[in-house]
Amino acid sequence: MIGFKRQGKISVLLMCNTSKNTMEIKIDPDKCIGCGTCAAIAPGSFKMNDETNKAEVINPVTDSEETTKMGAESCPTAAIVIE
């Protein structure tokens, strides 16, 4: 089950895997500076929006959980939070 919800300006992607793991990926557009590192590290999780030059979550995510987390952790401004 995959769904989107909006909390103010922060886009949130909810993912439910077949396992019990649920990851919630949040990108804060005010923090994102558009460097593209997340999309380079985890191209199945994040992409750059050509108009806003901000990172977005890809729906559905096709990377492994480990790759998604690495992409999030590589953000130089810590704009991506996984819960």
Partner 1 sequence: MSKEAKIRDKEGKAWLYTDVVKDHFFNPKNLLKHGEEENYNADASGRVGSPACGDEMALWLKIDKKSERITECKWQTFGCASAIASTSMLSVMVTENGGMKVDDALKIKPQDILARLGGLPARKVHCSVLGDQALRTAINDWFQKTGQNQRIINV
- 82 forms part of the interface with partner 1 (CB under 8 A): no
What is the smallest separation between the CB atom of 18 and partner 1, expressed in angstroms?
22
- The Cα–Cα gap between 20 and 6 comes to 23
Q: Exactly one of 10, 12, 23, 33 binds partner 1 (CB under 8 A); which one?
A: 33
Q: Given CA atoms 80, 4, 62, 52 in this order, what sign does their dihedral have?
A: negative
- 62 forms part of the interface with partner 1 (CB under 8 A): no
Beta strands in 8-79 (DSSP E): 10-16, 22-27, 46-48, 55-57
- 36 forms part of the interface with partner 1 (CB under 8 A): yes
Structure tokens at 52: 């806003």
| Interface ranges with partner 1 (CB under 8 A) | 33-37, 40-41, 66-67, 70, 73-77
